[in-house]
């Protein structure tokens, strides 16, 4: 079933639309002029269409989809269900609005995207066929619309969440973890098709038998790098970690349930049932004790891989720095000297900041207090500094007047011929 279909879906999108158009007084009044103007079909060429109405529907479609946390939706829901009014009244201009959004790149058709889980030969044929197609067919009611901007927003949110728990430049997650960021599997698959086709993510499969699917994200770049052998191994380990964690969660719940049932049976006087539940709780506890070291070992290996990748990045940065120093004839001693000077400047600045913070600031009530402080300061300086008589400079008899000296200096400078250095 497509995203948002069914009774629960109808209640969801009706609430979302109501939340977005709640401040519009004409929405519930079909006899209003604004209501009729926005619900009627466009006529003539695109240049003749009312631009405010077109922008209104484009913005409203994206805002409703964002509120529903959808990155894709069937075209028939958008045109016939999302904005339907009592009596079956629907906006007649929505098919034209979708065509405009498609032409502007705001929406894509899922059928025109390449499924990353398909074979490489099939993907090549699809790319060649897309390049050969000159004219595009119009949007059909059974098409799945992919909202480009919403997919990119969701991808940025995923990268932000992964960056909080990973310090590497890339991150590999299982397909189930990727699906958890979306409303359902169909919505996640549509987003995956766009992200892989645009290079913002990479799809990978860890093994041929019982394949383990995963997605690779770049946490520090716009484009995800190509998939490597290490990525497949990492995906297998991450998948094993998730499976072990799920198993531990199940064992913990079963262990807790067995303990509660044993206690309830003992209180009711059924000792046989109580003994049986006690044995079950012990079995669950033993299984948990065997599973926990395995999970810890897998987590340790994943951590070692991440540390190795970080060490590799640091090593590459050091090599680049050494190469740059060689190209610019900079020695290690010069770098150490400059670093030492920087450390001294930082230390001096810290001392200045500490001294400034340690000086108590006396608040002054107004300008009169400030003037009083200045007068007291001038009086103290006047008492401490001895009076010095300042004599006017005496010109020698043979000395030239200032104006003649300036003219003479200008004349001498004009005679000097300066060549290029």
The predicted-structure confidence for 153-185, as pLDDT tens digits, reads as follows 999 999 999 988 877 788 899 999 999 999 999
Cα 412 to Cα 104: distance, rounded to the nearest angstrom: 71
Under 8 Å between Cβ of 21 and 27: yes
Under 8 Å between Cβ of 20 and 63: yes
Cα 134 to Cα 126: distance, rounded to the nearest angstrom: 14
CA distances from 415 to 326, 389, 409, 410, 420 (A): 46, 42, 10, 9, 16
- Digit-coded pLDDT (tens) for 191-240: 999 999 999 999 998 876 778 899 999 888 778 888 888 888 889 888 88
HSE value, Cβ hemisphere, 13 Å, CA-based, for 258: 17
Q: Which residues of the chain have pLDDT under 70?
A: 1-10, 23-26, 48, 122, 130-135, 208, 309-339, 341-342, 352-421
Instruction: Tell the residue number behind the tokens 């150490």, with chain if given.
Output: 336
Whole-number pLDDT of residue 394: 46
Whole-number pLDDT of residue 84: 84
Strand order in the sheet with 144-147: 72-74, 144-147, 107-109
The vertex-173 CA angle with 170 and 174, nearest 5°, equals 155
Distance of CA 390 to the CA centre of its chain: 70
Under 8 Å between Cβ of 64 and 82: yes
- Tokens found for residue 122: 């099939």
Whole-number pLDDT of residue 420: 42
b/e for 123-143, b at 16 or more Cβ within 10 A?
A: beebeeeeeeeeeeeebeeeb
Cα 36 to Cα 89: distance, rounded to the nearest angstrom: 11
User: What is the percent of the chain where pLDDT is above 70?
Assistant: 69
Whole-number pLDDT of residue 390: 41
User: What is the percent of the chain where pLDDT is above 90?
Assistant: 22
Under 8 Å between Cβ of 179 and 94: no
């Amino acid at each position: 079933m497509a995203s948002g279909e069914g009774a629960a879906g109808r209640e969801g999108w009706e609430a979302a639309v109501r939340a977005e158009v709640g401040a519009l007084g004409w929405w519930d009044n079909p006899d209003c002029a604004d209501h009729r103007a926005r619900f009627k079909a466009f006529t003539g060429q695109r240049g003749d269409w009312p631009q405010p109405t077109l922008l209104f529907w484009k913005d409203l479609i994206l805002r409703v989809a964002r509120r529903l946390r959808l990155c894709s939706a069937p075209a028939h829901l958008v045109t016939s269900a999302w904005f339907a009014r009592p009596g079956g009244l629907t906006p007649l201009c929505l098919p034209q609005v979708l065509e405009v959004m498609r032409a502007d790149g705001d929406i894509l058709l899922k059928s025109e995207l390449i499924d990353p889980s398909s074979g490489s030969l099939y993907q090549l044929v699809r790319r060649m066929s897309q390049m050969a197609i000159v004219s595009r067919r119009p949007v059909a009611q059974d098409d799945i619309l992919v909202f480009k901007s919403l997919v990119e927003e969701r991808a940025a949110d995923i990268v932000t969440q992964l960056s909080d728990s990973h310090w590497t430049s890339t991150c590999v997650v299982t397909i189930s973890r990727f699906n958890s960021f979306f409303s359902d599997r169909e919505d996640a698959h549509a987003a995956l098709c766009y992200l892989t086709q645009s290079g913002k993510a990479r799809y990978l499969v860890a093994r041929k038998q019982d394949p383990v699917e995963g997605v690779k994200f770049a946490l520090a770049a716009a484009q995800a790098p190509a998939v490597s052998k290490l990525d497949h191994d990492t995906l297998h380990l991450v998948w094993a970690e998730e499976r072990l964690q799920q198993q531990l969660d199940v064992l913990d719940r079963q262990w807790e349930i067995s303990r509660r049932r044993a206690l309830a049976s003992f209180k009711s006087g059924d000792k046989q049932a109580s003994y049986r539940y006690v044995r079950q709780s012990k079995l669950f506890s033993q299984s948990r004790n065997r599973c926990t070291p395995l999970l810890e070992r897998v987590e340790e290996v994943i951590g070692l891989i991440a540390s190795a990748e970080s060490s590799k990045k640091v090593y590459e940065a050091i090599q680049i720095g050494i190469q740059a120093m060689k190209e610019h004839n900079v020695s290690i001693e010069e770098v150490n000297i400059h670093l030492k000077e920087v450390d001294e400047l930082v230390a001096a600045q810290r001392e200045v900041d500490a001294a400034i913070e340690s000086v108590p600031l006396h608040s002054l009530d107004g300008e009169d207090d400030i003037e009083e402080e200045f007068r007291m300061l001038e009086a103290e300086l006047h008492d401490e500094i001895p009076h010095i008589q300042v004599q006017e400079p005496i010109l020698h008899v043979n000395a030239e007047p200032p104006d003649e000296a300036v003219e003479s200096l200008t004349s001498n400078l004009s005679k000097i011929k300066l060549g290029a250095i």
